[in-house]
Amino acid sequence: MPELPEVERVRRTLAPHLLGRVVARVDLHRPAFVLGPPAARTHAALLAGDGLIELRRLGKSLGLIGQSGRAVHLHLGMTGQFLVRDAVTDLAAIDHVHVAWHLQGGGHRDAVVAFRDPRRFGEVRPFATVAELEAHWARLGPDALTIDSGALAACLRPGRRAIKAALLDQAVLAGVGNIYADEALFLARLSPRRHAGRLTGAEVARLAEAIRTVLHEAIEAGGSTLRDFVDADGAAGSYRAAHRVYGRGGQPCVNCGRLLRSALIAQRTTVWCPRCQSGRAT
DNA sequence: CGGTACGCCTGAAGGC
DNA sequence: TGCCTTCAGGCGTACC
């Protein structure tokens, strides 16, 4: 569920708890949750003893950077979340906590940041250098939050598949998932079944603007909480109430009143308005 | 190339 | 009440 807006909310709320502080200890509650070759999965690789200097984001991925130059790739998957707790918290009493970073210094009281992920689709993957993290991220397309018309056209040009499928492909564009793909296509008045490579220049421009608009709106609203998404301060997001199509199959279109269609496209439940998103090129 | 299916994993929700 | 099935979905991978 966490897509770009939710991950960005996590980044913003988590950063103040991490940056400028030192990792006093890393607890591996579930060692197998940490990815990569065994030699690269040490406590030091997870930034134990390191100072934390940066928390960056690309698409739905977060990167925590240490003063040593080490870096940890973090992905929330479907149900991943970060809990920030007092240092004395008994994390063993909280289910599905896989990794925990104990933090000191920086003028705050000691704290612990726990990665909790019931479904375990999330990722914690250490890298020895920032360059290696960046190489891992090189398979991702450009970040969706700032995508412009020209860059989007370049991403989509070779594609003959449905635009919905292309938007979900993180190698094309990083950060859009099922919720925001449907919301952006609705705003851009494009059928999800249109061929990605056959959109007109005007349509690509509309889509790029729609993607930026829905992502910015969602970030401002704290993200979309469907069931259990919360940011690092424990706050749920309210953007679900603003969804125009996602989760509204069979209900009237907010624009024209026609009942919204729902179908499986690119193996994902897709909702759109058959009138507003007519599917014909203009 | 694209599309289809599956596995990973848990918990919520629906059917009976 | 309780058991069983289905669904949700990010992402990698296998296969046609």
What distance in Å separates the CA atoms of residue A274 and residue A271, rounded to the nearest whole number? 9
Q: What single-letter amino acid sits at A250?
A: G
Give distance CA A263 / C1' B5 (Å).
Answer: 17
The string of DSSP codes covering A138-205 is TTS--BGGG--HHHHHHHHTT--SBHHHHHH-TTTSBS--HHHHHHHHHHTT--TTSBGGG--HHHHH
Q: What single-letter amino acid sits at A11?
A: R
Most distant pair of Cα atoms in chain A: their distance: 61
Backbone angles phi, psi at A123, to 5 degrees: -140, 140
The two three-digit tokens of residue A155, written as one number? 């991403």
Nearest in space to A91 (alpha carbons), one of A116, A72, A120: A116
Backbone angles phi, psi at A47, to 5 degrees: 80, 20
Positions of A marked catalytic: 2-3, 60, 268
Give pLDDT tens digits along chain A (282 positions).
689 999 999 999 999 999 999 999 999 999 989 998 888 889 999 999 999 999 999 999 999 999 999 999 999 998 899 999 999 999 888 889 999 999 999 888 999 999 999 888 899 999 999 999 999 999 899 999 999 999 999 988 777 889 999 999 998 999 999 999 999 999 999 999 999 999 999 999 999 999 999 999 999 999 988 878 889 999 989 998 899 999 888 889 999 999 998 888 888 889 999 999 986 544
Determine the distance from the C-alpha atom of residue A275 to the mean position of all C-alpha atoms in its chain, rounded to a whole number: 30
The string of DSSP codes covering A210-234 is HHHHHHHHHHHTT-B-SSS---TTS
Closest nucleotide to A140, Cα to C1': C11
Collapsed DSSP state (helix, strand, coil) of residue A240: helix
Backbone angles phi, psi at A174, to 5 degrees: -100, 120
Collapsed DSSP state (helix, strand, coil) of residue A81: strand
Give distance CA A271 / C1' B9 (Å).
Answer: 26
Report the predicted TM-score, pTM, of the whole model to 2 decimal places. Answer: 0.94
Residue A97 parent element (H or E): strand A97-104
Backbone angles phi, psi at A244, to 5 degrees: -90, -35
Strands lying side by side in the sheet with A81-86: A22-28, A97-104, A111-116, A81-86
Give distance CA A160 / C1' B3 (Å).
Answer: 12
- Is-contact A114 A86, C-beta < 8 A? no
Q: What angle do CA A223, A224, A229 make, to 5 degrees?
A: 90
What distance in Å separates the CA atoms of residue A252 and residue A103, rounded to the nearest whole number? 49
Q: What angle do CA A135, A141, A146 make, to 5 degrees?
A: 115
Q: What is the pLDDT of residue A247?
A: 87
Please report where in the chains the tokens 């412009």 appear, as a residue: A148
Closest nucleotide to A118, Cα to C1': B10
List all nucleotides in chain C with at least one atom under 7 A from a protein Cβ.
Answer: 7-12
Q: What angle do CA A183, A241, A163 make, to 5 degrees?
A: 10
Give distance CA A14 / C1' B7 (Å).
Answer: 31
Chain A 131-170 contacts with nucleic strand B (CB below 7 A): 158-162, 165
